[in-house]
Structure 1
């Protein structure tokens, strides 16, 4: 894999930190890495965006490229229209990714929000860029209640477009997961038909960069240059057995 699309099943679920973890693990394995952010929204002209955050966490050897930036935190098409700025086409994304792939072992293309968020006036999405690139897509999903539906829908959208789905990484695994999160570990692969390829602990983006780089491979499966295995993780966090409530004691007449 020279190019990988990283898409979330929604927003604010740890997609950038997962991208940084993959980059850090790949660098640790001796690979050269670039991260491409086609459309950065909700960030001012002088502020660091998601690509810069990946470099901060994964290390200065990572190349960061951003194609467009829009100030309002909206879907790229809407943000571009409101700002009076040009949109980004799938062809531009594919051209930039292919150019980076000529000089890097791995190019990570980080989307904005979910897979089918509109990028331009014609309704093109990250999925269209994936098709032009012939690149597999990694889904980043939250751990808690509601993630099964959004992950299954994203997986079905990839299959409907004959696109390759790599698997699912949980973007922010809680330190003390609730029952829903623990049940979702087993249910996500079964429901989506995709393998679980990692789980990044909540708050990992606040670690000192050196600690982040050291730990990153332990959060990801070997297919993502890591050492993480789903079996022991599932065993550790398997939900407790169901205990039915005791029937009420009938009151005496």
Structure 2
């Protein structure tokens, strides 16, 4: 049976896509058949033919070198660089949970492990009209445990503790935290790591520095986090 993990973050621009690419790269190199999935993606650009390209998916595919077709990675792709709920209000084509599930089920029939990525932070609205859908609804629909990506710098204790507290209150399983833009030897960032673990009870499974091209955890270790 296929397994998976969901990558969320403490907010926008914490490096979820960057980390997701490295997770998939490591697992592919370890021999796993793996795929990427993101329910909704906004802020995308068009190619020379005017076709809208899912930028996060393209980055992940390029970094990880997985063989999954780009068009199978994300069912909802928007051009406007705003939250998906507003992008769909501007452009049309609002997210439907049946389509999200249908596309995900196609992947689990074909691949051993799926790494799903969220949009923005845990409270990101994906649709907000006559129907209200938030990121946590997609996590629950897919039935996946989570990894939280956070920036290692100033303010991360607050953002990590608030994110973990909210997710725990909603019974969303959390497997670990990854700190991005981490600098070994930086007193504040080393303390941030310790405090995030102490205040949440969630382990920091790895720390990633600027421009890393690999993870210091094994593909097997990553797979063990999946459900």
TM-score, with structure 2 as normaliser: 0.86
Question: Which has more radius of gyration?
Answer: 1
How far did residue 177 of structure 1 move? Answer: 6.1
Counterpart among 188, 202, 207 of residue 199 in structure 1 = 207
Q: Distance in 2 between matches of 1:153 and 1:202?
A: 25
Relative distance call for 1:185 and 1:221 in structure 2 (3 A) is farther
Residues 128-181 of structure 1 show CA distances to partners (whole Å, capped at 9, x for unaligned) of 11112221011111101111111112112221121211110112223x664321
Relative distance call for 1:177 and 1:45 in structure 2 (3 A) is farther
**What's the Cα RMSD here?**
2.1
How far did residue 112 of structure 1 move? Answer: 1.0
Q: Distance in 1 between matches of 2:12 and 2:22?
A: 18
Q: Does 1:114 align with 2:121?
A: yes
Which residue of structure 1 lines up, in the alignment, with residue 112 of structure 2?
A: 105
Q: Is the Cα–Cα contact under 8 Å of residues 54 and 77 in structure 2 kept in the other structure? A: no
TM-score, with structure 1 as normaliser: 0.77
Structure 1 residue ranges without an equivalent (≥5) = 205-211, 227-253
Q: Is the Cα–Cα contact under 8 Å of residues 198 and 221 in structure 1 kept in the other structure? A: no
Which residue of structure 2 lines up, in the alignment, with residue 3 of structure 1?
A: 4
Q: Distance in 2 between matches of 1:4 and 1:63?
A: 20
Relative distance call for 1:63 and 1:136 in structure 2 (3 A) is farther
Aligned pairs, number? 214
Structure 2 residue ranges without an equivalent (≥5) = 48-52
Q: Distance in 1 between matches of 2:218 and 2:167?
A: 22
Counterpart among 153, 162, 170 of residue 179 in structure 2 = 170
Which has the bigger relative contact order, CA under 8 A and spacing at least 6? 2
Q: Distance in 2 between matches of 1:94 and 1:141?
A: 27
Q: Is the Cα–Cα contact under 8 Å of residues 6 and 116 in structure 2 kept in the other structure? A: yes
Counterpart among 62, 67, 71 of residue 75 in structure 2 = 67
